[in-house]
Amino acid sequence: MKTYNTIIGGKQIIPTNTFEVKNPATEDLIGYAPISTKLEVAEAVEAAKKAQPAWAAMADEERKGYIMKIAEVLTDNTEELATWITKEQGKPLGGPGSMFEMQACVGWTQVPASLDLPVEVVFEDDTRRDELHRKPIGVVGAIAPWNWPLMIAIWQIIPALRVGNTVVLKPSEYTTIGTLEMVRMINEVLPAGVLNTVSGTGEIGAELVANKDVGKIMFTGSNSTGEKIIKGSAGNMTRLTLELGGNDAAIVMEDVNPEAIAEGLFWGAFLNMGQTCACAKRLYVHESKYEAVISVLSDLAEKMPMGNGMDEGVVLGPIQNKMQYDKVVDLVEDAKANNARIVCGGKAKEGKGFFYPITIIADVEDGTRIVDEEQFGPVLPIIKYSNIEDAIKSANRLEAGLGASVWSANVEEAKKVASRIEAGTIWVNQHGAVHPMVPFGGVKSSGYGVEFGVDGLKSVTQSQVISVNKA
């Protein structure tokens, strides 16, 4: 079985220690991933630091050209990398799965390559001219998650490189190989040291965070790890972009046609088996449409084929890892113990793989674990409300504030409700629809900073004002 390597300074680093990587659908061993040493983390940061001045000094159009070469590499290797995503993360190849993730990788590479951060004249009169310039920060440490391992790595890597930073990337220990392979391929078209990798558990991530030569950390993942990153980086005054947990609320208003919104609601909740920070994770439905919405969602759930993502026709895969699987099971069992109604699913599948059926839970209330804790899996609690004010209050009662959605036949009324929800993005008649031109980030405990678009590029720069005396 093959052992995979990290890349430091353009060279593959053969590991002294490794860990097993298994397919979550079959539990079969698929390869060995490296465990970086503390010295290798330091060497990766040093390689990035050494390469950064020349990378930043390049003409902007030349750096754009390199980014477009990366897009070509991703396009040319889409099938191979998508296969790694399916084998390692579990999502199916087709549908909203691994090929979809790779298409997103390409798009989120091409768009930053098309964007500019021109010099802004922020003030000018007869006596002075003040210009705001955007400068790279230096070395960016990127820590990627396991749910969209390649796509979110690209979200971190590409904007940082685009504006002249260099990067050290640590993939999740649950989905390491595909990400390392992607970076190996990208390195074939980049100058040495511009993009480096380290690998291993959270200890390796902590080493990266604590390194005084890392000017910014970009992290997507859990609140608990986000808090550790804040503490670990504090002594270095490191800039942070943190995209943390969601527990997104979705509000279905009384004027909806349940059949018309069923598919949008379903995939808003169960895209990637619900293992998406911005999935709908608690659904508030007006009492007049409560049973109808439950019915259309459960009908869809029963029709969706689940299995090994490498098999044709599968649209739903396993939960990615045992830790998350156990959490999902525990939350459902707790809901059962508290007299919730299990509309469909609710019982683990037998056999190998971390498969858990799409589970819809009714007759639950705020304050129960299945509502208040982010399940991050294929389970959706549906809560009944009678007054829209109560639904808004419920949506805002938790500290999570990544995304939310409002569903209504009256868009203007939905927008009024949306404006009162405390979240970074509130979608109307859709959920989780991110776009590479549209800033995305959370409020409250869902993190801070934004990604995507011009604002995302600005977030990986530091401002410099040049003030000229005209007299």
Q: 120-123: long-range contacts (C-beta < 8 A, 24 or more apart)?
A: 122/465
Say how far apart CA 298 and CA 196 lie, in whole Å: 45
What percentage of the chain has pLDDT greater than the value 90?
Answer: 99
> How high is the pLDDT of residue 363?
98
Q: Between 78-89 and 60-76, two packed helices, what is the crossing angle to 10 degrees? A: 70
Structure confidence by residue, pLDDT tens digits, 15-61:
999 999 999 999 999 999 999 999 999 999 999 999 999 999 999 99
The DSSP bridge partners found for residue 404 are 249, 426
Could you tell me whether strands 18-22 and 11-13 are parallel, antiparallel, or unpaired per DSSP bridges?
Answer: unpaired
Cβ pair 451, 241 in contact under 8 A? yes
Other beta carbons less than 10 A from residue 384's beta carbon: 20
Residue 342: pLDDT band by 50, 70, 90 thresholds?
very high
How far out from the chain centre does Cα 157 lie? 13
Q: Can you list the domains of the chain with their CATH numbers?
A: 6-244+444-469 (3.40.605.10), 248-428 (3.40.309.10)
Cβ pair 216, 241 in contact under 8 A? yes
| Buried/exposed code over 268-299 (b: 16+ C-beta within 10 A; e: otherwise) | bbbbbbbbbbbbbbbbbbbeebbebbbebbbe
Say how far apart CA 277 and CA 376 lie, in whole Å: 7
What is the average pLDDT value for the chain, to the nearest integer?
97
How far out from the chain centre does Cα 33 lie? 22
Strand order in the sheet with 239-243: 195-197, 166-170, 139-143, 216-220, 239-243, 447-448
| Buried/exposed code over 1-33 (b: 16+ C-beta within 10 A; e: otherwise) | eeebbbbbbbeebebeebeebbbbbbeeebbbb
Which whole number is the average pLDDT over 350-378? 97
Residue 133 φ then ψ, to 5°: -105, 150
What end-to-end distance do the CA atoms of the chain give, in Å? 72
Structure confidence by residue, pLDDT tens digits, 257-299:
999 999 999 999 999 999 999 999 999 999 999 999 999 999 9
Residue 88 φ then ψ, to 5°: -100, -40
pLDDT at position 471 over 90: no
Active site residue 279: no
**Maximum CA extent, the chain:** 81
Tokens standing for residue 78: 């889409």
- State the catalytic residue, choosing from 40, 88, 243, 374: 243
- State the catalytic residue, choosing from 173, 277, 422, 451: 277
Q: Which residues contact 261 (CB under 8 A, 6 or more apart)?
A: 252, 407, 429
**CB-count burial class (<10 Å; 0-12, 13-18, 19+) for 212:** exposed
Query: Which of 110, 115, 167, 106 has its CA nearest to residue 136?
Result: 167
Region of residue 449 (left: phi > 0; alpha: psi -120 to 50; beta: else): left
> How high is the pLDDT of residue 349?
85
Residue 196 φ then ψ, to 5°: -125, 160
Query: Which of 403, 317, 426, 407 has its CA nearest to residue 82?
Result: 317
DSSP assignment letter at 446:
G
Cβ pair 174, 320 in contact under 8 A? yes
pLDDT at position 370 over 90: yes
Cβ pair 313, 303 in contact under 8 A? no
pLDDT at position 232 over 90: yes
Instruction: Name the 3-class secondary structure at 205.
Output: helix
> How high is the pLDDT of residue 185?
98
Which whole number is the average pLDDT over 386-405? 98
Active site residue 227: no
Structure confidence by residue, pLDDT tens digits, 173-218:
999 999 999 999 999 999 999 999 999 999 999 999 999 999 999 9
pTM: 0.97
pLDDT at position 388 over 90: yes
